Amino acid sequence: MATVKTMHIGLDDTDSPRKGCTTYIAALLVEKLRKLGAEFIDYPNLIRLNPNVPWKTRGNGALCLRIKYDEKLEGEIKETVISAVEEYADLEFKGTDPGVVFFERKRIPREVKLFSKNAITGIVKLKDALKLLKKFKAEAIGFKRCRGIIGGLAAVGETLRGDHTYEILTYRIPENYGSKRKVDEESIIKMDEATAPYTFNNFDLEKRRVLITPRGPDPILFGIRGETPEIVKKAFQMVKPLEPVERWVIFRTNQGTDAHLKKVKNLKEIKPYNPVIAKGTVAANPRIILRRHVIFSIEDKSARVDCAAYEPTGSLRKAARRLMVGDRVEVYGGVRAPSKSNPLTINLEKIRVLKLAQKIVYQNPKCPNCGKRLKSMGKDKGFRCEKCGSRYPNLDKIEVKIKRELKKGLYITSPRSQRHLTKPFRRYGLEKRKASVRLIEGWHFP
Ligand SMILES: [Zn+2]
């Protein structure tokens, strides 16, 4: 009798800015492990971790493969995974420190889930990962400085029970790595129209720019994000690649869910590198600095922080520029540590304008005699009319309420500058409360 076991395989930090992609290793392993006889119990999970970790420059994505298998296959499965990492990770690159985690349990313990939450919303330490691995008798293989073990375990622990999305990723043949990606633009625009709002971040209408193709030397040809496995597959079938596709896989992911953002009760709680949602009142009018960045300050009873909207964040930046002292806002974004020249700063991904302050200007009154706008005779000295010569020592300036150019509501960075985790407009109202995972027919090729 065969004994069926469950294993969660976490992978992270195999790529470098010059080569590779951990999702590609996962895609290869889907083919290899299924050939061996392993059965997938979920789509490969692509878990984006805190994008504001200072030593992580790329998308900060970790992977988890969740499988059932005959106990006899265990050795072969592990060997297959390790040799794929050895073969495809950019091990010569300084700063690429791959990690693999084999977690052989059916259920993921609460502590490991909590570790993942912390890796997505904050900073976690290798030491803490190693402690958990030991406690739950999980196996981990670290290369070089082993940092990848952190992401590997974090991917294992994020089971995506709440809100989640899908992405179908397609890969190029190695001969084409590094060259310009060839995908028919018209077909992408048509696909976007046909599948909206159930796919997102396909095409930037404002700048007429394709968003589904990455720019680097990595093996990805394009990726389409959406709400269900069916819709991303349908969208994929509508897009015309103009170069060969080596393979494709549907991933389940926390992309587009705002999973990195954590609400703070007061501004004093904001810590560097921990992405936040915070409320405050605008305390200093927006100012424009270097290359048109917009900076403003917010405060509450506990503290005051700066908020920055950078080019090219489009409509968000425009909204930020129109804020004024007294406006009540909720801000969303990553937190930059204070430096010599700058205080603690929230790099904005979104602003929600909750309440607009009344904008008032004071004007000289009009002449009661002839209607011409009066001239001031100096502070507290009243007014005189240049047209008819009348003098009015007892008149005061009048209050005029000015219509604000800004409306209440939510402003989000434009799709081209959104983080992988940023929830785009299209997803509002489509959030999932529960996961019911079923693998569709044909969720990967080959
Ligand atoms: Zn007059």
Nearest CA among 311, 90, 92, 333 for reference residue 216: 90
- The CA 56 to ligand 1 mean position distance, Å, reads 69
Q: Is the pLDDT of residue 94 over 60?
A: yes
**What does the block give as tokens for 191?**
């696909």
What is the structure's pLDDT at 159? 97
- The CA 387 to ligand 1 mean position distance, Å, reads 5
CA distance 445 to 63: 18
- The CA 377 to ligand 1 mean position distance, Å, reads 14
- The CA 319 to ligand 1 mean position distance, Å, reads 41
What is the structure's pLDDT at 1? 63
- The CA 292 to ligand 1 mean position distance, Å, reads 45
- The CA 359 to ligand 1 mean position distance, Å, reads 29
- The CA 366 to ligand 1 mean position distance, Å, reads 8
- The CA 138 to ligand 1 mean position distance, Å, reads 89
HSE of 265 in the Cβ direction (CA atoms, 13 Å)? 0
Report the DSSP beta bridge partners of residue 204.
Answer: 209
**pLDDT band, very low/low/confident/very high, at 339 (cuts 50, 70, 90):** confident
- The CA 277 to ligand 1 mean position distance, Å, reads 55
CA distance 438 to 51: 29
Helix (H, G, I), strand (E, B) or coil at 441: coil
The string of pLDDT tens digits covering residues 240-264 is: 999 999 999 999 999 999 999 999 9
- The CA 364 to ligand 1 mean position distance, Å, reads 13
Q: Is the pLDDT of residue 173 over 60?
A: yes
CA distance 265 to 1: 56
The string of pLDDT tens digits covering residues 58-79 is: 678 999 999 999 999 999 999 9
CA distance 126 to 387: 79
- The CA 141 to ligand 1 mean position distance, Å, reads 88
The pTM (predicted TM-score) of the whole model is: 0.92
Helix (H, G, I), strand (E, B) or coil at 175: helix
- The CA 380 to ligand 1 mean position distance, Å, reads 19
Burial of residue 443 (CB within 10 Å: 0-12, 13-18, 19+) is buried
Segment 168-194 mean pLDDT? 96
Nearest CA among 350, 332, 428 for reference residue 121: 332
The string of pLDDT tens digits covering residues 356-394 is: 999 999 999 999 999 999 999 888 889 999 999 999 998
